[in-house]
Amino acid sequence: MQSLAPSLLLLALLTHPAHADCRTVSVTANGLPVTGIEDMALDAARNQAVLSAYDRRAGTMGGLYLLNLRSLDAPAVAAIPLATGLRPAGIDLRVEPDGARSLLAISRQEDGSATVERYRLDGATLTHQDTTAGPLLCRANDVAFLNGERFLFTSSHGGCGWGAVIQDNVLGGRHGFVGLVENDHARVLVDGIGFANGLLPDPSHDRLTVAATREEALLVYPLSDPQAPPRRIAVPGGPDNLTMAPDGRLLVALHPSPVRLALHRYGWPGGAAAPTRVAAVGPAGTEILLDEDGRRFSAATVALSWNGRLIVGSVTAPGLLVCGEVASGATGSSAPAGPPATR
């Protein structure tokens, strides 16, 4: 048995998550805690990120917030409210050719419908520009710019009512889809997805990556021909939001246990915590960067990197989880990714 000890030790070192040095950071806005930061969009050039947050378990309204990332060394940071009284979901940031910032945000309504709101971000001022509405958006989950006018969105289910939820969540159907909005009109671009979640278009490589949460896979479509059969990449958990690293790898927030996530999400018995897992996916395979039981920070839904740190948000947890050295940066937005910054 002694001869096995060095090999077992080496295996443990090689398989241990790379980001064990993590700490929670409290985020407040107007003196109140910000909980449920489900999605983030990074503006690396300005060292800031837009946060999409609302406390789903408490049923309170949330909003969009601007965070100075240089403040993350502190145990508590203050974010600037950009838009409040919302139930936002997926967001995306675009740097326009003139340097202006455009923002898309999915906004969920009390009647169960959803809209996509377009804004202009000037400094710390968010100006509403347009609303896209329609029946195809009722289960909208994430959103991504294609260019200055067109954008994509995911729909987790194929319909608006509880019947569509039961058909997929209980009976195992795959009716999620990716939609395209152009000229203020929405249409289905590709369907048959088991809970379509995060998405990331990459025109420079003619690919569209979609997180199929219930399939525990990333689906990679040719962006120029999304009707073509996708390439499937199996991942160790249900993928949520996606961000891209400069080396071409994807940072993926994963849900290792759908059952524990559901118990936690709805506050049911046995749901005190849900695991948090983050992976980097690339041509060489999948690297687990963070793998925790959720007692410190539950149910991660998004991860991005900035200045050598991994920044993680959750659909339920308060604040953020900030971890140490990151091998490669990620934008989390449609803005061009630059090389990783140094501390």
Instruction: Express each pLDDT in 295-326 by its tens digit.
Output: 999 999 999 988 889 999 999 999 999 998 65
pLDDT at 196: 97
CB 209 within 8 A of CB 190: no
**Tokens standing for 50?**
């837009």
pLDDT at 317: 97
Instruction: Express each pLDDT in 49-83 by its tens digit.
Output: 999 999 998 888 999 999 999 999 999 999 999 99
Instruction: Express each pLDDT in 157-168 by its tens digit.
Output: 887 877 767 777
Strands 76-78 and 22-29: parallel
pLDDT at 283: 92
> Which residues have C-beta within 8 Å of that of residue 327, sequence separation ≥ 6?
18, 280
Q: Mean of the pLDDT values across residues 192-210?
A: 96
pTM over 0.95, yes/no: no
pLDDT at 145: 98
Q: Which residue has the higher pLDDT, 241 or 161?
A: 241
Q: Which residue has the higher pLDDT, 265 or 181?
A: 181
Complete DSSP assignment for 129-166: EEEE--GGGTTEEEEEESSSS-EEEEESSSSSSHHHHI
Whether residue 245 is predicted with pLDDT greater than 80 in this model: the reply is no
Q: How far apart are CA 293 and CA 313, in angstroms?
A: 15
CB 214 within 8 A of CB 194: yes
**How many CB atoms neighbour CB 31 within 10 A?**
6
CB 215 within 8 A of CB 230: no
CA Rg, the chain, in Å?
19
CB 276 within 8 A of CB 300: yes
Q: How far apart are CA 86 and CA 63, in angstroms?
A: 5
